[in-house]
Structures are given as structure tokens and as C-alpha cells.
């Protein structure tokens, strides 16, 4: 029973990470579009880097949890390192 609950929670965590990855992609895309639009204007204004920095902080926070997720999978004897999480980590890294 405990193992089934842990596996269920693990899947919930991985789903949440995938959702966060999607959110980071859309936020990064929004920041990029904002920057591109500003560069096309006749009188470009200074672009506030706060949004890009916030996306970077979110990504760092999320990726810091990956070793713990891998450790949980290892303790449940599922796998040592999750290739799915590796793909999400690469995706987040490229979008920041």
C-alpha cells in the first residue's frame, strides 16, 4: 500500500514538473516576443529584465528538485535516473 501511494505521488510530482516546463516555455516565449517587439519600434524603450530573471529563478528552483525525484525513484527501485526528467531539464534549460 505504501509503495503504491509513493508511486502515485511520484507521478503527480512528475506531471507537475511537466506543467511547470510548459509554463516556463510560454513565459520565455512572451519575454522574447516583448523584446523583439521593442526592438522594432522607432523609439525603443529600455526593457525590464525582471521578467527574464524571474523565469530563470523559477527554472533553477524546479531543476534543483530533480535529484530528489531521481533519489525517490531509486529508493522505490524504479530507475536510477529518469530519462523523462532529463528531457524536461534540457527543455527548461534551453528555454531560459
**Beta carbons of 29 and 94 less than 8 angstroms apart:** no
Instruction: Tell me which residue range forms the domain holding 31.
Output: 2-40+47-95
Q: pLDDT by residue (tens digit) across 44-94?
A: 667 677 877 888 888 888 888 888 888 888 888 777 777 887 888 888 888
pLDDT at 90: 83
CB atoms within 10 A of CB 32: 12
Instruction: Report the pLDDT value the prediction gives residue 79, as an integer from 0 to 100.
Output: 72
What is the 3-state composition of the chain as percent helix, strand, coil, each rounded to the nearest 5?
80, 0, 20
Count of structural domains, the chain: 1
Q: Are 96 and 55 in contact (CB under 8 A)?
A: yes
- What cell numbers appear for 45 in the block? 524603450
1 pLDDT above the threshold of 70: no
Per cent of the chain over pLDDT 90 is: 0
Amino acid at each position: 500500500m505504501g509503495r503504491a501511494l509513493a508511486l502515485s505521488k511520484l507521478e503527480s510530482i512528475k506531471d507537475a514538473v511537466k506543467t511547470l516546463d510548459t509554463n516556463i516555455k510560454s513565459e520565455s516565449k512572451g519575454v522574447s516576443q516583448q523584446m523583439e517587439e521593442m526592438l522594432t519600434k522607432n523609439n525603443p524603450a529600455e526593457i525590464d529584465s525582471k521578467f527574464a530573471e524571474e523565469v530563470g529563478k523559477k527554472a533553477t528552483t524546479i531543476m534543483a528538485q530533480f535529484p530528489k525525484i531521481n533519489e525517490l525513484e531509486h529508493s522505490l527501485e524504479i530507475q536510477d535516473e529518469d530519462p523523462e526528467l532529463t528531457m524536461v531539464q534540457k527543455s527548461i534549460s534551453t528555454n531560459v
